[in-house]
């Protein structure tokens, strides 16, 4: 049996809102360690990988592995019914047909209970080995979101160039071009404002901005985003959770 209680419903709300436009049907695999999701978008360009570690929950028990096949659009509708600050408990039997969501308002005795029918989802799994990346950058997630949104007004593609002392984001379009250059900086008082670059090799990679527009929906999950890039291989965009992560793997674009 699964019983996982979130101190605040807002965390799961944010997670679902962050991935529901990238993937619709996915298996939430629950184990004693927490809940994991891996799913690929229909175009097979973007992969979502989620771990909600058991330490995120104020109470958590899962005696044996349970898979919850969830339609995220329906899940999102139900989860919006609860308040952000409510306790949220997920409950499922060992071989469940449905998952129950219990919202408890902390300021009153109101308890709301919803159940979502589950689906049999036959999704394949992509094996992702640990890789040595050419470059790892860490920067404020909100800045990355703004840069991508600004440059998406000009182009469908975002070019990222990384050298040891700068990160350059570029977009070239029919109406004009744009670029934003960032330099590494350490902010001792506000570490979440820091920008770091670890470089093994200089990077020059290009990505579709429509996919990046989906990735940056994870911005509210973490102050910082970690971007790991190698030339000509998928990049990893990561928002760290208190225990766990939301990762997106995005295949690059190539020159014709």
For the CB of residue 7, give the shortest distance to another protein in the complex, in Å.
34
Cα separation, 253 vs 166, in Å, equals 22
46 sits near another protein (criterion: CB under 8 A): yes
Pick from 214, 212, 219, 216: nearest CA to 171: 212
Query: Of residues 29, 204, 208, 240, which one binds another protein by CB under 8 A?
Result: 208
- Candidate ranges 81-89, 112-120, 133-141, 244-252; the one touching another protein (CB under 8 A): 244-252
130 sits near another protein (criterion: CB under 8 A): no
Question: Burial code of 216-237, b = ≥16 C-beta within 10 A, e = fewer?
Answer: bbbbbbbebbbbbbbeeebbbb
For residues 52 and 235, which CB has a smaller minimum distance to another protein in the complex? 235
Q: Which long-range contacts (CB under 8 A, 24 or more apart) does 188-195 make?
A: 192/140, 192/223, 192/224, 193/140, 194/138, 194/139, 194/224, 195/137, 195/138, 195/139, 195/140, 195/167
Pick from 132, 152, 12, 19: nearest CA to 73: 19
- Among positions 152-171, residues that touch another protein (CB under 8 A) are 155-157
For the CB of residue 57, give the shortest distance to another protein in the complex, in Å.
29
Query: For residue 238, how many other CB atoms are within 10 A of its CB?
Result: 20
255 sits near another protein (criterion: CB under 8 A): yes
For the CB of residue 37, give the shortest distance to another protein in the complex, in Å.
16
Q: What is the DSSP letter of 129?
A: -
Cα separation, 49 vs 66, in Å, equals 17
For residues 44 and 190, which CB has a smaller minimum distance to another protein in the complex? 44
* Site size for another protein (CB under 8 A): 26
Query: Of residues 234, 236, 241, 244, which one binds another protein by CB under 8 A?
Result: 234
For residues 120 and 255, which CB has a smaller minimum distance to another protein in the complex? 255
C-alpha angle 16-19-20 in degrees, rounded to nearest 5: 75
181 sits near another protein (criterion: CB under 8 A): no
For residues 36 and 100, which CB has a smaller minimum distance to another protein in the complex? 36
For the CB of residue 242, give the shortest distance to another protein in the complex, in Å.
28
For residues 43 and 200, which CB has a smaller minimum distance to another protein in the complex? 43
135 sits near another protein (criterion: CB under 8 A): no
Cα torsion 104, 86, 75, 224 to 10°: value is -160
For residues 127 and 190, which CB has a smaller minimum distance to another protein in the complex? 127
Query: Of residues 172, 193, 198, 240, which one binds another protein by CB under 8 A?
Result: 172
Binding site for another protein (CB under 8 A): 40, 43-47, 124-128, 155-157, 172, 206, 208, 233-234, 249, 251-256
């Amino acid at each position: 049996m699964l019983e996982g209680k979130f101190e605040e419903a807002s965390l799961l709300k944010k997670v679902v809102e962050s991935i529901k436009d990238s993937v619709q049907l996915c298996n939430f695999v629950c184990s004693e360690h927490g809940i994991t999701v891996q799913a690929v978008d229909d175009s097979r360009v973007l992969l979502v990988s989620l771990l909600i570690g058991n330490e995120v929950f104020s109470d958590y028990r899962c005696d044996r592995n349970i898979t919850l096949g969830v339609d995220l659009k329906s899940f999102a509708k139900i989860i919006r019914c609860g308040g952000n600050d409510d306790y949220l408990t997920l409950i499922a039997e060992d071989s469940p047909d449905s998952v129950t969501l219990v919202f408890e308002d902390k300021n009153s005795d109101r308890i709301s209970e919803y159940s979502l029918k589950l689906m049999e989802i036959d999704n394949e799994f992509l094996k992702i080995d640990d890789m040595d990346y050419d470059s790892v950058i860490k920067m404020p997630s909100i800045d990355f979101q703004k840069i991508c949104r600004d440059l998406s007004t000009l182009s469908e593609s975002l070019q990222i160039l990384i050298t040891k002392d700068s990160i350059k984001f570029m977009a070239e379009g029919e109406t004009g071009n744009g670029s934003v250059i960032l330099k590494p900086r350490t902010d001792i008082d506000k570490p979440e404002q820091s920008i770091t670059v670890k470089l093994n090799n200089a990077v020059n990679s290009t990505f579709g901005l429509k996919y990046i527009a989906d990735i940056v929906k994870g911005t509210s999950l973490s102050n910082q985003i970690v971007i790991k890039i190698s030339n000509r291989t998928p990049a990893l965009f990561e928002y760290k959770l208190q225990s766990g992560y939301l990762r997106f793997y995005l295949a690059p674009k190539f020159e014709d």
